[in-house]
Structure 1
Amino acid sequence: MTTRRLLLNEIAPLMGRERKLSHSRNESISKILGVNRDRTATNGTGLTASNLVRAMSILTKRTDLHFLTLRPWVKVLSKRGLLRHERVWCPFCYQEWHDTNKSIYEPLIWCINVVQICPIHHHPFLSVCPHCLMTQLVLSGDSQTGHCNKCGKWLGSSRFKSGEVSKMKKAPEIAS
């Protein structure tokens, strides 16, 4: 099941979004979530994250899902410039999880704008697919975690050595 189908069929109705949707195969994730173009809001401190957590809590019967977002930090963190507007990743994390049969996921820390380096592997995050050289959407309707949401190829790799990683486009520096 694609992310788009999950959102359209299961999550959007619980967020009160079903009447406004066309149920088109190409329905925009932003439109489904009602966030215009700011898909980063799903991980943030605002209403979109809160509504998404509520819907997911109903579906999963879990009460701790707010910890998967920055909602617990709403009174501490400024929303301004908090989240990235493009997806970044550590290819070493993806590959390590793949090779050890662990769940492939995108840690919340990868979304935070000021975090530029993987705290585990101490390498800068990547923001461009090494295969198609395209930047990645934060959330895509047809993507699979750990894969490029443009060409679909695997983003993890143990072949990236320090020199190779530094030659690839890294996550953009934030302005001070």
Structure 2
Amino acid sequence: MESSSESGGTGTKRVRALPKYVILRTTAGQEVNVALMLEASSQALKSKGIYSIIVPPEIKGYIIIETEGLHIVHRVARDIKHVKGKAMGSLRPDEVERLIKVKPPIEELRPGDIVEIISGPFKGLKASVISVDTQKNLVTLNILEASFKMEATIPADNVRLYKRR
């Protein structure tokens, strides 16, 4: 892109690149540590061009880096422990949004699923989903660990998907 300079001559104007989302492979379980080390390395090298580091909760062994270019990630991640693969390719912003968007628990539940109750009087028990009421955000469950058939209706926020049937 050409533009005129103030002195009247013509010159080239550097256009800032659009940010890219790059995936970096790490040791599973060490994603947060790698993200913190990347941040420290970026600051130590006074590297500009890394805008954010995302640790997707549902994808083990990978982190997403928002950056100007792949070369910046290679330079910053060069000597970091637990980085298993070089940054390759890039993701579109809509793909990143889909990966990090938190889905309400009630959207994931279907009758027949096995859930773990995470709060309330039945905390820690496993149960089978009988019905899901999305309007009221309630789930009707059959408690599996009871010695008799026991149904309970509790808020969907109090359960976590344990196993899909």
Give your verdict on TM over 0.5. no
- Tell me which protein shows more strand as a share of its residues: 2
Structure 1 or 2: larger helix share?
1
Q: Which structure's relative contact order is higher, taking Cα pairs within 8 Å and 6+ residues apart?
A: 1
Q: TM-score, normalised by structure 2?
A: 0.25
Greater Rg by CA: 2
- TM-score normalised by the chain length of structure 1: 0.24
